[in-house]
Chain A
Amino acid sequence: MEIPYIVNPRKDTGLINSKIAIWLFLASEVMLFGGFFSAYVYLRMGADYPWPERTLPVLPGLINTFILIGSSVTVVFAWVALKLGNWRQFQVYMAITVACAAIFMVLKGIEYNVKFHHQAARLNDYTVVEGHLGYEKDSEGEYSLDRHGKKIEENMIRVVAEKLTFSVKRFHAPWVNEMLSEAKRNGSEIKLAADIKAITEEGGKEEPLAKAGDPLSLELLEKIKQTQIEALEHNAALRTDALRLEWKEAKEANPGKRGWQLASDVNIDMEALKPRLLSEVSSVEFTVDPPTLLLFKPRDIKESPTSSRLRDDTVIDGAMGASPMVFHNLDAIDFQWLVMKAKEKGISPEAAIADSWLMKKSEFVREAWAWHLARNEKRQAELTKDYGFKEDGKTPKRTLTHKELYRLGWKDLGEMGVEKQQVKISGFDKIKEEFKGPNYEARGEKTFPHISIPREEIRHAAKFTPAWNTYYAIYFTITGLHGLHVIGGALVLLYYLVFGRKMFLSNPEWFANRVEVGGLFWHFVDLVWIFAFPIFYLM
Chain B
Amino acid sequence: MTGSYFLDDIDREVLAVLERGPLYGYLIMEALRLRLGVEFHLPTGGLFPVLRRLERLGYIRSAWVTVENRERRTYELTEVGHQARSL
A complexed with B: no
